[in-house]
Amino acid sequence: MSPRRETYDEYGAAGRLGLPVAAWRWAAGTGLVPPPDAGRWEWTRTTVEATEPEALRAAFHVRNAHQAAEQLTAALGDPLPPRRPAVTVSAVARLVRAGLLAQLGDDPDFPIVHADQVAQLARRRDLPAVPDRHIPLGPDQAAHRLGVRRTDLDHLVRLGYLTPTHTTQVRYPAAQGGPTTIPLYNAQDVALLDTVRPHIDWPAVRATPARPPLPPRRPRPGHPRHRPRRRGRRRPRRGSRMRSRPAGAASRSTRLKGTRS
């Protein structure tokens, strides 16, 4: 017979009470359970058994990253204000790293957060400024935030008007170029660029229409992908009524001539 367990970590305590680990983490962070009394993030068996699991279950309401992003996006406005990007899953992860939301899951890129914290953040009056302070923008997002084309944003970067604060690496499939380094820009710098650079005719830049996509061009002769058109008799499709005669077989007209003679 194995000896009785005297201490529990967060996984053991949640399993002992039949709760998700995220529920125990939320209870420990909000004071619904006593602080660890058997070491760092460890509780004694007496403390764990004295906890009411139903009380923790009633106070535990979670949102995954997609649900939190949708709730925060809806709080920004429906429809969104002009040039305001929607809150994404990666933005929720950055809000967790900034300490605005508590991480209750194990995946840092797809966090699980508490519904009460998300609702409290959505009610803040300065919510539109929160993403600008904590969430950087990629090139496409920065162009959308400025209301300009992506090529115009590239010109601003080449002129030194906008500088990336850091970079991130995205692992695309090999057919799409493989791992790619993408620059990230401070959202506040992007939002204030039209104020800092008043000599630029921003209405004219924003009124420039996007270039329509070019039609696909056929490869030139000599290109590895160039296929010359075959001329001659069409090959019958599979299942077609056109059947090729075997070698030496006479045609129907020839057979009829033979029967008449």
> What residue ranges do the domains of the chain occupy?
7-60, 61-135, 137-208
Q: Check pLDDT > 60 for residue 164.
A: yes
pLDDT of residue 247: 54
The average pLDDT across 114-128 equals 91
| 69 confidence band (pLDDT: 50, 70, 90) | very high
Express each pLDDT in 225-251 by its tens digit: 656 566 656 666 665 555 555 555 555
Q: Which two tokens stand for residue 225?
A: 């992908």
**Amino acid present at 130:** V
Q: Check pLDDT > 90 for residue 45.
A: no
Q: Check pLDDT > 80 for residue 109.
A: yes
The average pLDDT across 68-85 equals 88
**Phi and psi torsions of 162, nearest 5°:** -140, 130
Express each pLDDT in 181-238 by its tens digit: 899 999 999 989 989 999 999 999 888 887 777 777 666 666 666 565 666 566 666 6
pLDDT of residue 14: 86
What are the b/e assignments for 63-73, b being 16+ CB within 10 Å? Answer: bebeebbebbb
d(CA 251, CA 31): 94
Express each pLDDT in 127-156 by its tens digit: 988 988 888 999 998 999 999 999 999 999
Q: What is the mean pLDDT of the chain?
A: 82
d(CA 53, CA 23): 10
pLDDT of residue 72: 93
pLDDT of residue 84: 85
* Residue 104 half-sphere exposure toward CB, CA atoms < 13 A: 27
